[in-house]
């Protein structure tokens, strides 16, 4: 929000690349969940890409997991508040024994290893909307993926 209003907004194609790059290179994100029973919850969590999914893990007995059991949908943010990549998607809860070994091995390189900590579960989020903006001047044109498809033309 501190960017001067004269700063030119980035084009859609550049923002798409920012989203892809951040998903490929970062290791931690913010995970926001909410359900009927509870309000919103927000935690930092490690992640790796697993094909088209964002793979995460957290405690089975946690507010995040209770929220996701009640409403299996989440919103993620990667980066800081002045340079946002926000991702919405449905979430599947996956037992430790059912996670692909290659994914679990990569996950163990960016986090404690859920295979070695009792009471953990993996979370697989499939992005269906991704938004990229770095200030008020980029609020228009921030959507780079909608309904699971990368956009070639702005929709907002």
Contact with a second copy (CB under 8 A): which of 11, 112, 148, 156? 112
Handedness of CA 14, 85, 81, 47 (dihedral sign): negative
- Rounded Cα distance between 143 and 126, Å, is 16
Q: Which of 137, 125, 138 is nearest to 18 (CA)?
A: 138
Contact with a second copy (CB under 8 A): which of 7, 11, 13, 40? 40
For residue 23, the SS3 value is helix
Query: How many residues belong to the site for a second copy (CB under 8 A)?
Result: 36
Q: Which of 127, 40, 99, 85 is nearest to 111 (CA)?
A: 99
Q: Does 29 interact with a second copy (rule: CB under 8 A)?
A: yes
To the nearest 10°, the Cα dihedral for 113, 114, 118, 123?
A: 170
Return the range that interacts with a second copy (CB under 8 A); candidates 12-20, 65-73, 98-106, 119-127: 65-73
CB nearer a second copy, residue 30 or residue 150: 30
CB of 152 to a second copy, least distance (A): 25
Q: Which residues bind a second copy (CB under 8 A)?
A: 1-2, 27-30, 32-36, 38-46, 67, 71, 73-77, 80-82, 84, 86, 110-112, 136
């Amino acid at each position: 929000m501190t960017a001067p209003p004269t700063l030119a907004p980035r084009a859609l194609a550049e923002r798409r690349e920012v989203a892809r790059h951040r998903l490929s290179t970062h290791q931690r994100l913010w995970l926001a969940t909410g359900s009927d029973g509870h309000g919103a919850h927000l935690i930092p969590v490690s992640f790796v890409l697993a094909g088209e999914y964002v793979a995460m893990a957290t405690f089975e007995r946690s507010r995040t997991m209770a929220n996701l059991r009640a409403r299996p949908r989440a919103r993620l943010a990667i980066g800081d508040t002045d340079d946002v990549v926000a991702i919405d998607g449905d979430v599947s809860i996956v037992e430790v024994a059912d996670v692909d070994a290659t994914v679990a091995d990569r996950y163990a390189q960016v986090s404690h290893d859920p295979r070695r900590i009792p009471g953990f579960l993996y979370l697989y989020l499939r992005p269906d909307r991704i938004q990229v903006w770095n200030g008020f001047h980029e609020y228009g044109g921030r959507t780079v993926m909608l309904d699971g498809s990368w956009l070639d033309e702005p929709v907002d």
